[in-house]
């Protein structure tokens, strides 16, 4: 195959990667929920933590990437709901004002349908569920992965590249703890920070007398967390109401406000907030009126394709709620050297940088500075680019300097 025939697939791949990066730039935190063993209540924990974060005011997405046993639709009472598409993107289902949910389970014809896919097909599907779903601006996107350390969690880590970290779920007994050790080792091998370990089904507290019985033993998860030097987030006791609520598709956190399990979930969320802040977001860093600041590198008044060598940066302030541009000022960047531009733009309070192309190392530096990166934008004026991003119509092209 000659060079010309190779060029078109490369351009398609570059365009797909640019669209993925543009979507990820609107998601401040990415959290992966893992377990080395099935049946530990991982999806129940993921769903209820997502609901609690949304209840606290964060804008949350919950993505179920367990293709062989998607349980999020059942847990949240969404099995009968239909996902709509405009031909290019999928509209996630919503719970309240702050939680958006997507699962492959919504796209299967029936509850008994089986997915038989190899690794590359799974990675392609996960890419689409991130790139082609209208997530919008999110404070945190939670990935509910299947048990084990196979294709799905590896694909998630590779696609999002800079995840905030993992929450690992176990039960107290030795067999579960042994399997979950592999999940933590997996995180260490792929450089995925472990935000903390949760010990689920940790004892049963009688709702009548308050007496506690350790049905599955207790403390195994906490002991392992200490041995592996990862944060221990807390224990969630067994509660029959969790089972009933889950089977009936009713979010548990709305059912029993005074239960020991709910107290534990709230305590875990508080500790998790010490590891990462789900409310540290574009909307909260900006003013309450949803003000955002964009940086656009310019050459002769339009977007510079090579951001590091631009003559000026347009700093555009816009109101996301009304979709209007409030002000634009041109600033001269500091001398070009590694790390200088992310630091400078972060000090200027910038939330997004729109560019034609950017190398992966530079992308990492901007994202570490809390700045979303939008790649593959056309050579237009700063105001036109920001307006298109606010309206969701900004078209991505090739990342011309992806190295």
Using the predicted structure, report yes or no on whether residue 16 has a pLDDT greater than 80: no
pTM score? 0.71
Residue 61: its pLDDT value, please?
96
CA distances from 228 to 76, 322, 349, 387 (A): 33, 49, 38, 48
Is residue 299 within 8 Å of 276, Cβ to Cβ?
no
Q: Which residue has the higher pLDDT, 305 or 271?
A: 271
Residue 62: its pLDDT value, please?
96
DSSP characters over 202-224: EEEE-TTT--EE-BTBSSHHHHH
Highest average pLDDT, of 178-182, 204-208, 326-330, comes from 326-330
pLDDT tens digit sequence for 197-217: 998 888 776 666 666 666 666
Strands 302-303 and 291-299: antiparallel
Contacts of 245-248 spanning 24+ positions with Cβ under 8 A:
246/44, 246/74, 246/75, 247/74, 248/77
pLDDT band for position 124 (cuts 50, 70, 90): confident
How far apart, in whole angstroms, are the C-alpha atoms of residue 43 and residue 94? 17
Using the predicted structure, report yes or no on whether residue 141 has a pLDDT greater than 80: yes
pLDDT tens digit sequence for 55-95: 888 999 999 988 776 889 888 988 878 888 877 788 999 99
How far apart, in whole angstroms, are the C-alpha atoms of residue 234 and residue 45? 12
pLDDT band for position 290 (cuts 50, 70, 90): low
pLDDT tens digit sequence for 21-37: 878 888 889 999 998 77
Nearest to 269 by CA among 24, 60, 27: 60
DSSP characters over 46-63: HHHHHHHHHHTT--EEEE
Instruction: Tell me what the mean pLDDT of segment 308-318 comes to.
Output: 87
Residue 64: its pLDDT value, please?
92
Using the predicted structure, report yes or no on whether residue 235 has a pLDDT greater than 70: yes
CA distances from 345 to 295, 341, 393 (A): 8, 6, 24
DSSP characters over 326-352: EEEEEEPPPPP-TTHHHHHHHHTT--E
Q: Where are the beta strands (DSSP E) in 44-130?
A: 60-64, 84-85, 90-91, 93-95, 99-103
> What is the residue-averaged pLDDT of the chain?
80
Q: Which domains does the chain have, with CATH numbers?
A: 25-282 (3.40.50.300), 286-391 (3.30.420.130)
How far apart, in whole angstroms, are the C-alpha atoms of residue 292 and residue 170? 40
Q: Return phi, psi of residue 102, to 5°.
A: -140, 140
């Amino acid at each position: 195959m000659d060079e010309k025939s190779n060029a078109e697939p490369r351009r398609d791949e570059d365009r797909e990667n640019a669209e993925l990066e543009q979507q990820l730039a609107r998601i401040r935190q990415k959290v992966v929920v893992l377990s080395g063993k099935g049946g530990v209540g991982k999806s129940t924990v993921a769903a209820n933590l997502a609901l609690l974060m949304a209840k606290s005011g964060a804008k949350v997405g919950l993505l179920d990437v367990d293709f062989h046993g998607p349980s999020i639709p059942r847990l949240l009472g969404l099995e009968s709901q239909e996902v709509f598409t405009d031909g290019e993107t999928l509209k996630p289902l919503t719970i309240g004002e702050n939680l958006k949910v997507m699962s492959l389970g919504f796209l299967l014809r029936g509850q008994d349908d089986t997915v038989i896919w190899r690794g590359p097909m799974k990675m392609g599907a996960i890419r689409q569920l991130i790139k082609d779903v209208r997530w919008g601006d999110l404070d945190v996107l939670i990935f509910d992965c299947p048990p084990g350390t196979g294709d799905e969690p590896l694909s998630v880590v590779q696609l999002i590249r800079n995840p905030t970290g993992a929450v690992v779920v176990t039960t107290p007994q030795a067999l579960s703890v042994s399997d979950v050790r592999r999940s933590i080792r997996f995180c260490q091998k792929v450089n995925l920070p472990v935000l903390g370990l949760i010990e689920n089904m940790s004892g049963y507290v009688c709702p009548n007398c308050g007496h506690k019985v350790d049905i599955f033993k207790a403390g195994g998860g906490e002991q392992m967390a200490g041995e592996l030097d990862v944060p221990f987030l807390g224990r969630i006791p067994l509660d029959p109401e969790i089972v009933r609520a889950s089977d009936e598709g009713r979010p548990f956190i709305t059912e029993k406000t005074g239960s020991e399990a709910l107290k534990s979930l709230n305590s875990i969320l508080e500790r998790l907030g010490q590891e990462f802040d789900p409310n540290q977001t574009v909307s909260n860093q900006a003013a309450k009126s949803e003000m955002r600041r964009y940086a656009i590198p310019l050459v002769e008044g339009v977007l510079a394709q090579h951001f590091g060598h631009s003559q000026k940066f347009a700093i555009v302030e816009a109101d996301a709620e009304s979709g209007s541009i409030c002000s634009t000022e041109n600033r001269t960047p500091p001398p070009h050297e590694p790390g200088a531009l992310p630091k400078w733009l972060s000090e200027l309070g910038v939330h997004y940088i729109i560019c034609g192309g950017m190398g992966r190392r530079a992308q990492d530096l901007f994202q570490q500075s809390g700045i979303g990166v939008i790649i593959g934008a056309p050579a237009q004026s700063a105001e036109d680019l920001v307006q298109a991003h606010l309206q969701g119509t900004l078209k991505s092209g090739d990342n011309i300097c992806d190295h």
